[in-house]
Amino acid sequence: MFNIRIGFGEQEVTLAILPTIQKYYLVIYFGGIIGAVRMDPDGELWEQVPDEDIIPGDLPLYQPDLEADRLDIVLCEDTVFHIGEEITAVLRES
């Protein structure tokens, strides 16, 4: 497991990334899974893993808390791209 930081709106968030044996990376925010990303079959673009294909294991799904002092992050195409770029950078360094 490793952490990455990405810009989200005008702020930055720290996400935990957990590689899986299913060849995707779980994206964890405040202890819950917000989704997963993987490289597409061509190995060129990062894509979001469909929720029904995610095996969460012992981790809970992320539950947004509108009263908490944190950003309410969601995975979208742009966010998935930035997460993938950060994962690529970490993998390149190791």
Token couple for 8: 């989200």
Query: What is the total count of domains within the chain?
Result: 1
Range from 8-17, 60-69, 83-92 that averages highest in pLDDT: 83-92
Which is it for strands 11-19 and 25-29: parallel, antiparallel or unpaired? Answer: antiparallel
Bridge partners, residue 42, by sequence: none
Between residues 40 and 67, the one the model is more confident about: 40
Q: Which residues have CB under 8 Å from 13's CB, separation 6+?
A: 5, 6, 29, 71, 73
The answer to whether the predicted template modeling score (pTM) of the entire model surpasses 0.75 is yes
Pair 61, 51: CB distance under 8 Å: no
pLDDT tens for residues 22-63? 999 999 998 899 999 999 999 889 999 999 999 988 999 888
Give the structural domain span for 84: 2-93
